[in-house]
Every structure is written in structure tokens, then in C-alpha cells.
Chain A
Amino acid sequence: MKNTITFHTGQAVPLDRDNVDTDQIIPKQFLKSIKKSGFGENLFDAWRYEDEGFPGQDVSKRKLSENFILNQSRFLDSDILISKKNFGCGSSREHAVWSLMDYGFRVVIAESFADIFYNNCFNNGLLPIVLSSNEIDKLLALSHERKIIEIDLENQVIFSEDSQVAQFEIDPFRKKCILEGLDEIGLSLTHSEQIKEFEKKRALDSPWIFINEKKNG
């Protein structure tokens, strides 16, 4: 039995595929925005709608693809996404994370993640969890049954109906960042003196690296 505060409790949707790439998560035509918000309605656009999407459209008028799992009525309110290998591969676009969050996802669980996407998740407070393929299969089954999934980030455990489904690994600091929302830049800037020292030395050793401005224009 569990007795700690959960990080997140919700319904999971199974996206039973390998190599879900960031071009699928948010197609390029939506990257033209200079904002971070508003990407949710175009999440998985090509899979989600019957027609081709473009920015600024009224999505309520578009026909949804019935077969796409996110559109099935029993999964409409999902906020946990479950997928398989190499999730988030391809382009470095952070828009992929912004669109997952804007749609309402708080947690993505997969067998593995592409490196850049994984980093982007933590920089925005989206929790990525890596599990073995057996555990993923268990969760896929539970999500098909519409079981509530509970994520106890503190203890790194996933529950469903009070019984433990899986345990997961996460870097302690990253966990802290997700729980407390730390300012990464602020933290790095506490090292300003060391950065300045390093920079001075680098300019002495390899001055050509610092010559760019002289050639400007």
C-alpha cells in the first residue's frame, strides 16, 4: 500500500509505437510561432485530423481521424502518454514538449527517449519515465482498461489501484527540478566566477575563438 503524496494521478493513453518522432508530435508548419503556447490543438496533427492542418485554422471545424487513439472518446481526458522505443527522436524542436503539455499531458512513459527530447522535457516540467518493455506492456494493458495510474515521483513508483506496477530511475536533481521548478539558468549563474575564469584562460590559450567581432560587416 502506498502512503505518500503522488506527483500525478490520471488516465493514460497508449500510443503503441516505436520511433514517434518530433515531426509527428508537432508538424513543422506550426513551428512558425514565436510563442510557447497554443500548440496543443495541433499535437499529432497529421494523425489526429483527416485533413492537412495549417496555423491559425479553427480546429473545431476539422474532421477528426476516428482511428487515432487520442480521439477515441474513452481516451479524450488522458494526461499520461505511454509509448515505446526512441520516443521524441528527430528534430530538436522544443515545440514538441510545449505541444504535449499544452494538450494536457503531464507525464510521458516510454521504453526509451531520444536524448534532446528527454532534456527538453525536464526544462519544461514534463516528466519522462523510462520503463522496461515488460512494464510498458503492463501499463499499455492497464490504460486500455482505463485504470487510473498514479505516479509517486518522490518514491519513484507507479501505482494502479493501490498496487505497485513499476519502479523507475530518475536523476535526483532532475526530480527536484520537476517537483520544485528550479531556475536552471539562475543556478548556473551561481558559477559566474568560474565561467569568467575559464573564459579568460580560454582566450589566452586559443585567442582565435574570440575574434569574430573584428570581422563583422
Chain B
Amino acid sequence: MKILGIETSCDETAAAIVEDGTSILSNIVASQINIHSRYGGIVPEVASRQHLITALPVVESAITEAGVTWRDIAAVAVTIGPGLAGSLLVGVNLAKAIALAHSLPLVAVNHLEGHIYANWLTGAKPVFPCLCLIVSGGHSDLVLMAGHGEFSKLGRTRDDAAGEAFDKASRILGLGYPGGPAIEKAATRGSPSFSLPRAWLKGSDDFSFSGLKTALLHLVRGDDFTDPALVAEAAASFQQVVVDVLTTKTIQAAERLGVRQILLSGGVAANKALRDCFSRRSPVPVLIPPPKLCTDNAAMIAACGYFHYRSGKIDGCDIDVIPSLSLG
């Protein structure tokens, strides 16, 4: 069964065709990163205008590249939230138009749940119960997954999301946008020699990265940070703290709950230091999608949509965007 997935929740306009929730036939992502790097971030109105321009060509490319026709598509899955209202609307309205034009059922997908389903697209077979860590620019969520569609939220960030912390740190260190890859690259040239605070929030599965950001800011203020060697050391120190906190807290929760696997997803899961640390320290198998499936894409939305469809969770043309949607 082939599902068309559409994703426009933030800065990527994406469409994909996925078969049986596991096999990618096409996965098209039109990134707006060049537009956004000028602004140092996502600007909603710019984002929605760009989505309008690129959405239809992206869907057409997804169909062509998959070598399918509209008659082969069983349903349209689309992200309804969380995200920017204006951006989400473009994808949802396009999905409705396609569903009406081709008499296809619609499946509404939570973007965060979609991220988790990137792990079904790798050839690996996730087993339940599993613990999901979703780390991106807007989110740092720890969610227990007992089965398809069965989520309970354990923790989330109380202040800055992990990806946002990377972006702010990158700006503090003068390394540019997007901050994740910039910090990661700088960190390879330095050792983590600075001592920066780790917020453990004992007794809670929540995260906090705001204090780390403030500490980095004052470190930079107090020294001559025009020296690239010092910047590299600060980047390495910062990255080590984020990686250590994410890994340690997730593994503690995994042991406490007796889960059988840990599933990573979201843009920050593309960070190599984080991937290596999880693989090295976790007592249970860790699944991590390849970087291309960690960042926003529509294949994960189509995969998630397939499992909804299979369990009868089909929506009508009355679906609406939910910018503040959460998971679990």
C-alpha cells in the first residue's frame, strides 16, 4: 500500500511516497535553509510563502520519482502540528485538495510522531515497548511508546530545545546558522576543556538547556574569543554537555522502565557525537535513522500515516492545523 506524505510544519517543504510504512519510493525535500540563514532562523511568513511556491512541484516530483500514478496512491498523510500555523496550513490545504481531486482518504499526522516513524524506514524493526527521544530545533521530548499510536510523555524541555541550544551557542560563538552542524564541525577541532553546567533535574525526565547557554555566554564574555582554538574548545565543551545530558537521562529512563529499545529522531539526532555516545553507552539496542531521515522530511509522515491508516484512523476534509499539538 502506497501513501503520499506531505510535510510543511517548519522550514522544509517535503513530499514522499512510502510503501507499507517501511519502503521509501521517493523522498523530496525542498529546504528553505538558504532563505533562513539570512535571518538566522525561521521566519514564519517567509516560510509559508516559500511553502506555497514549492509545495506543488515537490509533490509532483515525489510522484514522478517514485514511478507511480495517482491511481496507485491509497491515502494522503499530512502534518497537522505542531508547527507554524501559516506553514502547516499550506500542507494541510494542499492535502485536502489532492484528497478531493483524487477521491483519496486523508490521514492527519502529528509531526513528533512522524519523527519517531523515521525509524521504520531504515530496514530495522523496532520492538515495543521502546523509549523515543525526539530532539530538534523546537522540541526535546522523551516519550514511551507501548505500541503503534500508544504514547505517554515522560519529559520535555523546560526552556530551550536541544537544537535551539545549538543554534544559540553557535550564535554566541560566531559560528553561523544552522547551529547544529556549525558547532559539530568546530567541536572536532577542539577538546572539551571548559567546565559548563549540566542540568540533571533529578526525579524528572525533563530537560533544561537554558543555564548551559547562559554559562557559555559568560564564558565567552570573560575571555578573548576571537581565537579559533578557544572557540573550538568552547564548542566541544558545549556539545559534550548536551550529548551527556541527553544520553544519560534517556538511558536512566530506559533502565527504569525496562524498555527493549531506544529510538532517536529529530534533527539533533544527526549529530555524530550524540549518535556515538548513545551507541556506546546504551544497555539496550539504539535505533537512529540516517541523518537525512532525522531532519524534517515527508517519508516519516507517510510511514506514520500508513500505520494510522492500517488501524482505521482515517480523517475527513474537516481536519485543521493544531500549532500547539503535543505527543503523549
Report if A and B associate in a common complex.
no
